[in-house]
Amino acid sequence: MILDKVKMLEYCNEFSKNTLMETLNIEYIDAGEGFLVAKMPVNPSVHQPMGLLHGGASVALAESVGSAASHFFINDKEQEVRGIEISANHLKSIREGVVYGTARIIHKGRTLHLWEIKVTDEAGNLISLCKLTNMVLTKEKK
């Protein structure tokens, strides 16, 4: 499959408008064969009470980038993607800056996609390691 990186990123950033991704200021910034990268600023709007990046915000970034990446393996006129399981290990904390979520395909089946998403800081330190399973469904005819 030949992918147009510019079109992929435009597509992802466009469908994020008026969603949680826009609320969290998630921006898709890089794409290629089998991977997608998004960034999210770390500031008080995504902190937990101790002033650190909230684990839920990290997971929201991970699920957003992994789910968006699955769209490049489906026919979006006939199919849709649903995240059915996500797990996360939070390994390091961060108070400010930017985190990056990089989703890489582990398994690309006909009905299931398995993604590994690494959430890293600007220095490349691993903040969270996530695993996302997406189900590919046939769209209901309207």
Instruction: Report the catalytic residues.
Output: 63
Q: Give the full edge-to-edge strand order of the sheet including 27-32.
A: 27-32, 35-42, 97-108, 112-120, 126-138, 79-90
Question: Which neighbouring-strand residues pair with 47?
Answer: 53
Q: How far apart are CA 100 and CA 22, in angstroms?
A: 15
Cα–Cα dist 27/21, whole Å: 8
The DSSP call for residue 47 is B
Closest CA to 119 of 79, 63, 69, 70: 63
**C-beta of residue 63 within 8 angstroms of C-beta of residue 103:** no
